[in-house]
Structures are given as C-alpha cells and as structure tokens.
Amino acid sequence: MVELRVNGHAYELDAPVGRTLAEALRLDLGLTGTKVACGEGHCGACTVQLDGVPVLSCITLLHTVGGREVTTIEGLAEHPLVDAFVRADALQCGFCTPGQIVSAAALVESTPQPTSEEVRHAMSGNLCRCGAYPRIEEAVVAWRG
C-alpha cells in the first residue's frame, strides 16, 4: 500500500511493484491530464511536481513516492499560467501542454519574473513536437498578464 497526496487529497493505492506514478495517476486515479508520450523519460509530457519539484512520472515508480505531495495539471487548473498559455496561443496539438505548464509553475514559484533564458533552461526537458517554443516562452515570461 502506498500513501500519497495528490493535488491536496490523500490516497492509499494498492498497486503492483513496478507501477509508475504516471500509470497510478492516469489509471488508478483517473487523472488523465498527465500525458505519456515517449514513456522513457525523454520528452517531458508526463511531468508532475513532487513536493514542488518537476519529475518525469513515466519513469518514477509509485513505490518511491510514499508520503510525498504530487501536483498534476489538474491541481493547477486555476493557475494564471493556464490563461497565459491561452493568451499567447502557446499550443497547437496540446499534447505537451500539461507538462509544459507543470514545469513552468515550478519555475515561477521560485523565479516569479523569469527571463527568456531562465525559461529555456528550466523547461529544456519539455519537448514540443509542434514547435510552439517561441509562444511557450512568451507565455511563461508574461505569465502574470
């Protein structure tokens, strides 16, 4: 049994050894905002925050996160970054967007006025196959509107 908190709610999950955090979120808790693309730790689509730090949930085992606080895109629904992405039209297919926003939210928490360079550095692990990088960067730099 693994106890964890997700977006402020406490859960106890009985999952087989080897279950990834991404599988637990999507399949056990129905939090499908977290996307899985590569499934191998290369693209950042599955990014969630673990105690405020971005991690790749597709290569994080559920059994290693007991007692920790997980924040997914569902927990950031009211974050101003969501509007900022819409204003900047910072997406095309949108598949990478949850992971982008989760990473960006951790960045602006520690660096409320990030420069373009800081955005690029902090979000270098979040790939966008649609090439929306300039608008993603614009959205994060201007996230407070």
Which parts of this chain interact with ligand FES (CB under 6 A)?
36-39, 41-46, 56, 58, 91-96, 128-130, 132
CB of 81 to ligand FES, least distance (A): 15
Q: Which residue, 3 or 93, is less far from ligand FES as judged by CB?
A: 93
Query: Which of 107, 101, 106 lies closest to 81, judged by CA?
Result: 101
Least distance to ligand FES, CB of residue 46, Å: 3
Pick 3 or 134: Cβ nearer ligand FES: 134
Query: Minimum distance from CB of 45 to ligand FES (Å)?
Result: 4
Compare residues 41 and 69 and give the one whose CB is closer to ligand FES.
41
Give the separation between CA 12 and CA 37, rounded to whole angstroms: 26
Tell the smallest beta-carbon distance from residue 115 to ligand FES (Å): 22
Cα–Cα dist 29/2, whole Å: 13
- Residue 44 contacts residue 125 (beta carbons within 8 Å): yes
CA distances from 25 to 19, 33, 59, 111 (A): 10, 9, 13, 28
